[in-house]
Structure 1
Amino acid sequence: MFEFKKIYLIALIILSFMALGFSAPPQPPASISKVVLDNGLTVLIYENHALPLVCLIAHVKAGSQYEPDEKAGLSYLVSAMLTKGTQAKSAEEVVSQIEFAGGYIISSGSQTGSFVQCEASKNDLDLALEMISDVLINPSFDYQEMERQKEYFLSGIKSRGDDPETVGKLEFNKYVYGKHPYHRPLSGYEETIENITREDLIQFHQKYYVPNNTVLAIAGDIDSQKIIPKIKKEFGGWPRKSVKLPELPEISSQKEIIAKTVNMQGEQTHVFLGHLGIKYKNPDYYTLEVLDIILGAGGLSSRIAYNLRDVKGLAYTAYSDITGSAGMEPGRFLAYMAVSPENKEAAITGLLNELQKIRNEPVLTEELEDAKSYLIGSSYFGLQGNEALANYLILCEVFDLGFDFIDKYPEYINHVTKEDIQRAARKYLHPEAYTLVIVGQ
């Protein structure tokens, strides 16, 4: 299913390239074509003839960050409703028609955008194009389907209060992001979902779902020249409209320690410690990515996991990350630990000590080289298959990356030095001013 959490590795790899977004992107490689239709629709095509399959992904800049607070969950609900019926097809027909051909079509959303993904055999490319254009342009927003989807959302909203990790992250986001839309959960709240009407869906769709606010990526066994007329046939009649995206509020970095405890029964206590992070265009992005692997994002071999879990036995799970959430808006630095209640204080002290250590002492040569090898090696595994390639095209286009960053990535990582890491740690990690959320006993 096309959700950000399911392409995290791919997104993390691609986000690694974003720090170079300052300059004009290079020309795409020969296997990649870019065409902008008269109505403003951007089309990206990657010819991959390994298998007779195609993947189409449409990205619309219509994420939850553009919805009003009182309608939290609206964007996510609109994206979910895209495949629940069109003006010409019922919800069942939308799904079954492509499934009978051996493919699938799904939709989802995020803070920044909405997505529709369709995969099929190369022989069913015409059908895939027809289906993805129909759900994007002509959703019916059927009232009964909307009510069923709202009930599904409400069920999830009620149950998320039973998951301590979800509770902790939502509470953490409230303090870190303040009035910025990132403080809200994608699926909204009970009261906001209940108050969303069919007219709200229609208006949001009419406002943001326009061709000049959309990128369509196609990867697979296709001929870029032959497919353009087919794309124009399905999308050429989609009328261009003026789109004004709302201005987002600035996020202020905290200057003090904020602590919040949420009492929940359970054998483990969940600790969330961190603060505001960085945007992807930050010039220290690559340095922080290497730092991430050494400190807490490198699995059990990272410092936080190894020292707090394996050596001291203070945590069942421990990790941290600052670059994975970076985007057009600032992400967050978040360290998470699941601990026994009696080890809570010692684990927090140990975590803060690790932050101080990487700020005050150079990392070891072996740590640095291992982190670089891990990042460079894993980058090549993240772009296998048509889905990964289509995602890559979308991210490169949306974030103005250029299409050849994957080839340049090793050079960017290899340039990182011990001195860079210590300097970045002192600048971007703040053990003196952070948000601490504890969920448990």
Structure 2
Amino acid sequence: MRPSRQKTGSRWSNQTRLATVLRSLLGLLALVTCWTAPALPAELRPVRFVMPNGLTVLFLEQHALPIVEAHALVRVGSAQDSPDKAGLANLVSSLLDEGTMTLTSAQIAEQIEFVGGSIGARATEDYTTATVRTLKKDVDLGLSLLADILQRPSFPKHEFERVRSELIGQVISEKDEPGTLAMKAFNQVVFTGHPYRWPVTGSEETLPKISHQDVLTFHSQHYFPNQTILSIVGDLSHDEAASLATKYFGAWKRGAASSPKLPKPHSLERAAVKLIDKELTQSSIVIGHVGVSRSNPDYYAVSVMNQILGSGGFGSRLMDNIRDKQGLAYGVMSLFDARLVPGPFYISLQTRTEATNQAIAGVLHELRAMREAPVSDQELADAKAYLMGSFALRLDTTSKLAQTLGLVEFHNLGLDYFTHYPQWIERVTKEDVLRVAKQYLDPQRVALIVVGDQGKAKVRLETKP
């Protein structure tokens, strides 16, 4: 997944920027953080409606600041890329704000910076999002730009060549990043034969094969209102939001969805090891397998279990064992990347080369321990308290709220999600944690990736029961 490219008008002249800096100062100060007065998740009351052209609109009033944020989530991502042209969905998203039928890239940048706002787009494995943020007084401009880049991108040939070259350079530079190399290799092993195996950004081999026509065709086949979720959060009334959505997106023509249903990835039949030799003083290790989907009913029990295992920072078992007791790594973490279909579960860390096998053995020990005995009452209480207590912090900006609204709709979680999430976490028992550990952790069939000096590391994998 690549970071969002937020356009703030960096191309226009210094003279123009100086002439408008005082005008946009207030907007910039407000939009830097987009902090909104914290509300209890149960108090959030989003509204949902579907427009005649099939566009799903979610709206949430937030009046703490005069800010409006809109996120358009299009149901297409890198999983729709063909293997020989991996990176196409990401390239399309990167070009959305590089010119439309009526505006050049520079003009888009000028207009959004003039009001102290931002606009950008990014692709993930499952979807693409285009976002805009402005003060309330500039909401018409913001939504008109968002509508324009989604519905009428021109994909100028010179911008296509430039952005594609930049992405190729980014991919090449990642060869010097051991952690990135390890994760790419991990996905290739775990998701063999599945679309999740290739990077969102594509590869050095596939990006040059993507033509300008490929970009045009991809957009024409996937970008439709009935494939899009529009989340609007901010200082508007429901009537204002509905009117704006109709004004700027009502004429968008419905289309026929062309994306096949994403298959469920298969688990590994046996443990697999991939070693990448590089002259380094440390080994970068990734170990794991296929995880869970976001719609899996066990997601909440898995979240609690993983909080105890390795996502709980200094309080997790992995940190206690690998860092505190053995001193093998500065940090170690585990993640269930829950997607439309089961995404990866992995544990990642770096350790000194000579301690590579000791660190791997420590990780496998903790995986087996999670499956063999119930967690303690204190571990369970701490994990649930953190997940419930931090939930509001994931909703404390207009940006986070808009993003979460889109994902709630995308994964069909229901608008009562904000009320029920803490309840679902609270209901998790020690028995649930042990059950999901046995079901979704499999130390016998992991993929192990090690990037480092293989002559000194002498990696071995012992997957004893």
2:126 paired residue number: 112
1:368 paired residue number: 380
Contact 2:295 2:412 in 1 (8 A): no
Q: What stretches of structure 1 of length at least 5 have no aligned partner?
A: 7-16, 18-27
- Work out whether 1:266 is the aligned partner of 2:253: no
2:166 paired residue number: 152
Contact 1:308 1:350 in 2 (8 A): yes
State which of 190, 193, 196 in structure 2 corresponds to 1:176: 190
- Work out whether 1:306 is the aligned partner of 2:320: yes
Q: CA deviation at 1:29?
A: 8.0
Q: How does 1:123-138 map to 2 (within 5 A)?
A: 123-138=137-152
- Work out whether 1:424 is the aligned partner of 2:441: no
Q: State the alpha-carbon separation in 2 of the partners of residues 250 and 35 from structure 1.
A: 30
Contact 2:4 2:120 in 1 (8 A): no
Q: State the alpha-carbon separation in 1 of the partners of residues 124 and 168 from structure 2.
A: 18
Query: What count of residue pairs does the alignment treat as equivalent?
Result: 419
| Cα distance change on mapping 1:317 and 1:227 into 2, 3 Å | closer
Q: CA deviation at 1:4?
A: 7.6
Q: CA deviation at 1:194?
A: 0.9
Q: State the alpha-carbon separation in 2 of the partners of residues 410 and 5 from structure 1.
A: 33
Q: State the alpha-carbon separation in 1 of the partners of residues 422 and 450 from structure 2.
A: 38
Q: State the alpha-carbon separation in 2 of the partners of residues 70 and 175 from structure 1.
A: 18
State which of 401, 421, 439 in structure 2 corresponds to 1:409: 421
- Work out whether 1:256 is the aligned partner of 2:300: no
1:14 paired residue number: none
1:199 paired residue number: 213
Contact 1:29 1:403 in 2 (8 A): no
Q: CA deviation at 1:3?
A: 4.1
| Cα distance change on mapping 1:229 and 1:380 into 2, 3 Å | closer
2:28 paired residue number: none
1:288 paired residue number: 302
Q: CA deviation at 1:31?
A: 4.2
Q: State the alpha-carbon separation in 1 of the partners of residues 425 and 47 from structure 2.
A: 28
Contact 1:67 1:75 in 2 (8 A): yes
Q: CA deviation at 1:315?
A: 2.1
Q: State the alpha-carbon separation in 2 of the partners of residues 200 and 40 from structure 1.
A: 26
Q: TM-score, normalised by structure 2?
A: 0.87
Q: How does 1:323-402 map to 2 (within 5 A)?
A: 325-402=337-414
Q: CA deviation at 1:225?
A: 0.7
Q: State the alpha-carbon separation in 1 of the partners of residues 418 and 117 from structure 2.
A: 29
| Cα distance change on mapping 1:411 and 1:79 into 2, 3 Å | same
Q: What stretches of structure 2 of length at least 5 have no aligned partner?
A: 7-40, 454-465
Q: CA deviation at 1:2?
A: 9.5
Output one character per residue of 1:117-165: Cα deviation in whole Å (capped at 9) or x when no partner. 1010101111111110001011010000011101110100101111000
Q: TM-score, normalised by structure 1?
A: 0.91
Contact 1:4 1:110 in 2 (8 A): no
Q: SS where residue 270 of structure 1 aligns?
A: strand
More displaced 10-residue stretch of structure 1: 388-397 or 131-140:
388-397
Contact 1:317 1:339 in 2 (8 A): no
Amino acid paired to 1:426:
K
| Cα distance change on mapping 1:76 and 1:355 into 2, 3 Å | same
| Cα distance change on mapping 1:225 and 1:94 into 2, 3 Å | same
| Cα distance change on mapping 1:30 and 1:264 into 2, 3 Å | closer
| Cα distance change on mapping 1:374 and 1:4 into 2, 3 Å | farther
2:334 paired residue number: 320
Q: State the alpha-carbon separation in 2 of the partners of residues 228 and 200 from structure 1.
A: 34
Q: CA deviation at 1:226?
A: 2.6
Output one character per residue of 1:61-115: Cα deviation in whole Å (capped at 9) or x when no partner. 1211112111111100000000001011110111110110111111111111111
Query: Percent identity among equivalent residues?
Result: 38
Q: State the alpha-carbon separation in 2 of the partners of residues 139 and 422 from structure 1.
A: 50
Amino acid paired to 2:179:
E
Q: State the alpha-carbon separation in 2 of the partners of residues 434 and 252 from structure 1.
A: 13
Output one character per residue of 1:292-333: Cα deviation in whole Å (capped at 9) or x when no partner. 1111010121010111111111223211122xx112211122
2:106 paired residue number: 92
Q: SS where residue 35 of structure 1 aligns?
A: strand
Q: SS where residue 335 of structure 1 aligns?
A: strand
State which of 98, 101, 105 in structure 1 corresponds to 2:115: 101
Contact 1:87 1:139 in 2 (8 A): yes
Contact 2:285 2:448 in 1 (8 A): yes
Q: SS where residue 54 of structure 1 aligns?
A: strand
Output one character per residue of 1:173-212: Cα deviation in whole Å (capped at 9) or x when no partner. 0110011111101111122211211111111000000111
Q: State the alpha-carbon separation in 1 of the partners of residues 317 and 5 from structure 2.
A: 24
